[in-house]
Amino acid sequence: MTGSGQAKATDRTDAADEKIDKPQLRLDTFLPHRLSVLSNTVSRQISREYAERFGLSIPEWRVIAVLQYFPGISSGELAKESGMDNVAVSRAVDLLVRGGLITRHSSASDRRRSVLDLTAKGQRVYDEITPLALASASLLAQELTVAERKQLDSLLTKLLTQAKRLGTDSP
């Protein structure tokens, strides 16, 4: 072996030794990744039905669901309530306005502020999708005992509170 070949082998050994000393990240055990995979998997499964029946994307459905409980909020407030980024909310809002499912209008108290509301058509879509979403959630949760469901709810609440405290809640 030439001198340069020995140097390359030594460099690889040094790199391997250094890698052992560094903290390793395994995605399959990394909590944020696991929560993301779970959320995406469940959302995709539930969304198949409303995508086929109503032509809605996950962000569009989330906008409708949030507006059901928070009528008359702005896009920015909707982004915060849904945990979605402003761009995703803006795109979903535009599509839903064009589809006649929501309205965008000036606030009665501040004409400079745009607010969003469900239309009657949007309310009907919400009313049809909600049982599908609840049934899917129920099927998912049936693997857990009642005590485990309560514990999971408590743990998720704690994690969300901590994430907000750490400032990781902004999209």
Every domain of the chain and the residues it spans: 26-143
Checking if the pLDDT of 60 tops 90, the result is yes
**pTM for this one?**
0.76
Residue 37 phi/psi, 5° resolution? -60, -45
Q: Report the pLDDT value the prediction gives residue 79, as an integer from 0 to 100.
A: 94
Checking if the pLDDT of 2 tops 60, the result is no
Residue 96: pLDDT band by 50, 70, 90 thresholds?
very high
Residue 28: pLDDT band by 50, 70, 90 thresholds?
confident
Pick the CATH number of 26-143 from 1.10.1060.10, 3.40.50.10320, 2.40.10.120, 1.10.10.10: 1.10.10.10
Q: Report the pLDDT value the prediction gives residue 16, as an integer from 0 to 100.
A: 59
